[in-house]
Amino acid sequence: MRLGRLTILACSLSLASSAAWAAPATTSGSVALALAGVVAPHSALPAREKKAVAAFFAGDSDVPYANKITVTADKVVCRASNVAITSRSCELSFGSRTRTVKGGEANAIFATVALAGVPPDGAAGTNYEALSKLSCTLDPAAIKDKAGGGADCSFEPGN
């Protein structure tokens, strides 16, 4: 009887933990700027906004762009093999368009998604980092203030 209750408790905690990871998440500040910075080059943003995001991400807070910038992605799924150690890639989905990146650029996206707090997953020699419904907002005026604000992201961990 006691073993049955412990099993039920363990299963309940496991389900609660899984549900917590599926819940929407947020990040702000430097991590949000980094997440926007690695996704924006592949997005459908206008060239001027991509250039502004790149400048912010490169450390320039005095960018001549005044409007808020929103970087979105439907999904970001990164894989790195722990068997074929040279294999790493990310698929970024923007509506009906999917962009695949490999190598160092994929590694940067993988690491930034992990930095944002997305829990890793893995199976059969592959490590995964994935999120969906990414929406990052950059406020150039707040970034110029250099008070730690101006970048906020929301997303759902997993795919």
Is 72 a member of any domain? yes
pLDDT of residue 122: 83
pLDDT of residue 5: 42
Is 8 a member of any domain? no
Which residues partner with 73 through β-bridges? 134
pLDDT of residue 123: 81
Is 94 a member of any domain? yes
pLDDT of residue 112: 97
As given in the structure block, the two tokens for residue 113 are: 């998604």
What type of residue is 99? R
Query: What's the average pLDDT block by block, 10 residues per block, for the chain (159 residues)?
Result: 40 39 85 98 97 96 94 97 93 97 97 95 89 98 94 94
pLDDT of residue 155: 98
Is 35 a member of any domain? yes
- Give the chain's domain count: 1
Is 13 a member of any domain? no
What percent of the residues of the chain are helix, what percent strand, and what percent coil, each to the nearest 5?
40, 35, 25
Which residues partner with 152 through β-bridges? 28, 137
Is 6 a member of any domain? no
Domain span holding position 78: 22-157
Query: Are 108 and 80 contacting, i.e. CB atoms less than 8 angstroms apart?
Result: no
pLDDT of residue 145: 93
Is 66 a member of any domain? yes
pLDDT of residue 81: 92
pLDDT of residue 22: 58
Is 133 a member of any domain? yes
